[in-house]
Amino acid sequence: MSHSVAPIEMGQGPGAARHIRQAAIFVAPLVVLFLSWPLLVWAFGVDARVFPGVKAVFAAAVESVSDGSLLAHVAASLGRVAAGTLLAVVVAVPLGVAMGVNAGISAFLTPLFRFFSVLAGIAWIPIATLWFGYGFGAITFVIFNAVFFIVAYNTLLGVTAIPMRLRHAAASLGAGRLAMVTEVLLPGALPNIVTGIRTGLGFAWRGLIAAEMIATNVGLGYMLFVARDFYRTEVIVLGMIVIGILWLLIDRLILAPLERATIERWGLVQRA
Amino acid sequence: MKSLTLRNLHKTYFDPAVGTRVTAIQDVSLEIGAGEFVAVVGPSGCGKSTILNMVAGFLPATRGDIIVGDRSVKGPGRDRGVVFQNFALLPWKTVIDNVGFGLKMRGIPKPERDRIAMEFLELAGLSQAAERYPNELSGGMQQRAGVVRALANEPDVLLMDEPFASVDAQTRMTLQEELMRIWGERRHTVLFITHDVGEAVFLADRVVVLSKGHVLREIPITIPRPRRWDALTEDGEFKRLSAEVLQMVRAA
Ligand SMILES: Nc1ncnc2c1ncn2[C@@H]1O[C@H](COP(=O)(O)OP(=O)(O)OP(=O)(O)O)[C@@H](O)[C@H]1O
Ligand SMILES: [Mg+2]
């Protein structure tokens, strides 16, 4: 190790090297899992109807990508998550803010929101299918519930955590009701809102897969469910891999950086 | 600038620990002339912040009147600019946007309010820090920003609650001198809360000593202006007045 590469790395900023290392630490166990899979299947002579080999899954991937079915399932699932989440956030944030500024409303609704946050996602599926039938409505409702209660609750927490003196300062500078919301309460609660969306989406994604097994005819959950009927374990495993990777991508590439950015920029450390 | 009048002000809090109402302010009347600088001193818990918060409109008075110019105070308003002990800058706004916040609330367009905010930042020696966020500034810089944020909004009355208590002694003296310089140019009506007797005597035209929620004494400070620390620390009049006020506060 006499020829250090440190000066070159420094040129790109020490952050780049750290990111690469973190990514490596994160990916390593997944690589080990992936490599041991064919070994285990071969060593124990596992029947393909119990668990598929790598080759079969790869073939299934090629097939479902080339005939467009995988894309259709992914698009359907992502579309539902996006619609349900967007709707939930649009309703939850104003409600959370309203609750946060009114101590009475907040005290009354907080236990309810805690309760429903626990039920997030899957527990709503039976009643959702009763109310909305099988299809888009029921699934969106499940996602909506998974995101809505957690985001509303987090918004409420965020608003109540804003120091009173900041609201006082804004008011004495002439901020009215609307400006108080847009200039102080929303930005002040934003880190909590983003955290809420991240947590809620985690539940929503799980709830989505479960709901799609029951209540639709397209989507990743449906893909798993149908494959089971035909003993197509390679399709099931492919679906599971896609579900996991999609979530990791959404969470690691969009939600986590967004959360970090708001928390850092908003200087939460300073709030104490 | 406008005058500030407190007339027979009372404030009682409900104290959950005792289960009864406790009196924080008892029949305080105070007349602060337009352009006058009044400092209120007193031991901890004597009700200084309570008075300021009522004047700012953050806290309703139990009884009595607060009048700015000829208008009775109902709630917070831009006629009374407030400087907070812990700065209370909005952490998600840059320094220049914090200073321009009051102007934004008045609907002044961005280029115009940036121009005005920049003038005030220069006044406070902060033009280099305009685009930084509050948590990237030292305590002294944050409080300079806090002061000019209140000034940029052109209030009639400036309310300050121990604004320099959370910076180091060296910075505090500098900030006091800067405040004197700015005040000398603009002559705001000022209500300044502090527990630092030297600070009160250095800054004010009149020092009000508060004791257990009522006014104990008012002492006019006749030291000529402009005042500077290097000249005043050995000044006989300054020493005498400081000693007098200090004695009063300790007896309060
Ligand atoms: N929200 C409140 N509820 C109940 N009592 C309060 C409340 N705020 C203040 N008090 C009481 O009112 C009295 C005056 O408090 P205040 O904060 O005005 O004192 P202060 O002179 O500013 O003290 P300090 O120098 O420590 O800042 C104190 O006895 C305090 O305990
Ligand atoms: Mg106080």
Ligand closest to Cα of B15 equals: 1
Cβ-based neighbour number of residue A102 at 10 Å:
12
| Together in a domain, B72 and B165 | yes
Q: At which of B154, B174, B209 does a domain end? A: B154
Alpha carbon separation from B241 to B179, B200, B233 (Å, rounded): 21, 10, 12
Q: Which of B138, B112, B142 is nearest to B124 (CA)?
A: B142
| Token reading at A24 | 């490596």
Chain B from 90 to 109: CB within 8 A of any A CB? 90-92, 101-102, 105-106
B47 touches chain A (CB under 8 A): no
Task: Specify the DSSP element, H or E, that contains B206.
Answer: strand B206-211
Confirm whether B86 is domain-assigned: no
Confirm whether B116 is domain-assigned: yes
Q: Which residues of B touch A177 (CB under 8 A)?
A: none
Ligand closest to Cα of B209 equals: 1
| Together in a domain, B72 and B175 | yes
Is B90 or A259 the better-scoring residue by pLDDT? Answer: B90
When divided into structural domains, chain B yields a total of 2
| Together in a domain, B210 and B243 | yes
Distance CA B137, CA B84 (A): 16
Q: How do the domains of chain A map onto residue ranges?
A: 1-46, 52-270
Confirm whether B67 is domain-assigned: yes
Give residue-wise pLDDT tens across range A59-94: 999 999 999 999 999 999 999 999 999 999 999 999
pTM for the predicted model, two decimal places: 0.84
| Together in a domain, B69 and B95 | no
Q: What is the pLDDT along chain B (252 residues), one digit of tens a residue?
A: 899 999 999 999 988 888 889 999 999 999 999 999 999 999 999 999 999 999 999 999 999 999 999 999 999 999 999 999 999 999 999 999 999 999 999 999 999 999 999 999 998 899 999 999 998 999 999 999 999 999 999 999 999 999 999 888 998 999 999 999 999 988 999 999 999 999 999 999 999 999 999 999 999 999 999 999 999 988 999 999 999 999 999 988
| Dihedral sign, Cα of residue B222, residue B227, residue B228, residue B230 | negative
Task: Report the separation in Å between the CA atom of B44 and the middle of ligand 2, taken as the mean of its atom positions.
Answer: 7
- Which DSSP string corresponds to A235-263? HHHHHHHHHHHHHHHIIIIIIHHHHHHHH
| Token reading at B178 | 């800067």
Q: What confidence category does residue A268 fall into, taking pLDDT thresholds of 50, 70 and 90?
A: low
**Mean pLDDT along residues A169-194:** 94
Name the residue range of residue B223's domain. Answer: 4-79+156-251
Residues 6 or more apart whose Cβ sits within 8 Å of residue B164: B143, B171, B172, B175, B176, B194, B196, B199
| Together in a domain, B108 and B47 | no
Confirm whether B84 is domain-assigned: no
Task: Specify the DSSP element, H or E, that contains B160.
Answer: strand B157-161
Strand, helix or coil at A218?
A: coil
Give residue-wise pLDDT tens across range A222-235: 999 999 888 899 99
Kindly tell me if the per-residue pLDDT of A14 is higher than 90: no
The residue in chain A having the minimum alpha-carbon distance to the alpha carbon of residue B92 is A266
Strand, helix or coil at A46?
A: coil
A52-270: CATH architecture: Orthogonal Bundle (1.10)
The residues on A that touch B, with CB distances below 8 Å, are 163, 165-166, 168-176, 179, 183-184, 187-188, 190, 265-271
Instruction: Tell me the CATH number at B212.
Output: 3.40.50.300
How much is the pLDDT for A53? 85
| Cβ–Cβ under 8 Å, residues B218 and B207 | yes
The residue in chain A having the minimum alpha-carbon distance to the alpha carbon of residue B137 is A270
Confirm whether B70 is domain-assigned: yes
Cβ-based neighbour number of residue A119 at 10 Å:
13
pLDDT, chain A, mean: 86
CB contact under 8 A, B77 and A168: no
Tell me which of B101, B108, B137, B191 to substitute to probe the interface with A (most A C-beta atoms closer than 10 Å). B101
Phi and psi at A63, nearest 5°, equal -65, -50
Give residue-wise pLDDT tens across range A97-139: 998 888 888 888 888 888 888 776 788 888 888 998 888 888 9
Chain B from 8 to 37: CB within 8 A of any A CB? none
Treating both helix axes as pointing N-terminal to C-terminal, what angle do A54-66 and A69-101 enclose, rounded to 10 degrees? 80
End-to-end CA distance of chain A: 45
| Cβ–Cβ under 8 Å, residues A87 and A151 | no
How much is the pLDDT for A213? 87
B24 lines ligand 1 (CB under 6 A): yes
Q: Atom of ligand 1 at shortest distance to CA of B162?
A: 27
| Together in a domain, B99 and B211 | no
Q: At which of B154, B188, B209 does a domain end? A: B154
Kindly tell me if the per-residue pLDDT of A267 is higher than 80: no
| Closest CA of chain A from B29, distance in Å | 23
Confirm whether B85 is domain-assigned: no
| Cβ–Cβ under 8 Å, residues B191 and B28 | no
Strands B71-72 and B63-68, by their bridges, are: antiparallel
- Residue whose pair of structure tokens reads 């005498």 in the numeric block: B240
Buried b (16+ CB within 10 A) or exposed e, A244-269: eebbeebbeeebeebbeebbeebbbe
| Together in a domain, B29 and B146 | no
Confirm whether B221 is domain-assigned: yes
| Together in a domain, B160 and B228 | yes
| Together in a domain, B140 and B102 | yes
Give residue-wise pLDDT tens across range B156-177: 999 999 999 988 899 899 999 9
Task: Report the separation in Å between the CA atom of B162 and the middle of ligand 2, taken as the mean of its atom positions.
Answer: 7
| Closest CA of chain B from A97, distance in Å | 18
Instruction: Give the count of alpha carbons within 13 A of A212, CB side only.
Output: 27
| Together in a domain, B212 and B230 | yes
Q: What confidence category does residue A272 fall into, taking pLDDT thresholds of 50, 70 and 90?
A: very low
Distance CA B12, CA A263 (A): 39
Strand, helix or coil at B214?
A: strand
Give residue-wise pLDDT tens across range A142-166: 999 999 999 999 999 999 999 999 9
Q: Which of B10, B11, B18, B22 to mutate to test the pocket of ligand 1 (most atoms within 8 A of CB)?
A: B22
B5 lines ligand 1 (CB under 6 A): no
| Together in a domain, B110 and B72 | no
User: What ranges in A119-185 are assigned the alpha helix state H?
Assistant: 125-132, 136-161, 164-172, 177-179
| Together in a domain, B184 and B115 | no
Alpha carbon separation from B141 to A16, B45, B162 (Å, rounded): 33, 28, 16
Residue B71 CA to its chain's centroid (Å): 20
CB contact under 8 A, B90 and A179: no
B188 touches chain A (CB under 8 A): no
B60 lines ligand 1 (CB under 6 A): no
Q: At which of B154, B179, B195 does a domain end? A: B154
Task: Report the separation in Å between the CA atom of A171 and the middle of ligand 2, taken as the mean of its atom positions.
Answer: 20
Q: Which residues of B touch A271 (CB under 8 A)?
A: 91
| Token reading at B56 | 């700012």
| Token reading at B163 | 């604004």
End-to-end CA distance of chain B: 32
| Closest CA of chain A from B136, distance in Å | 9
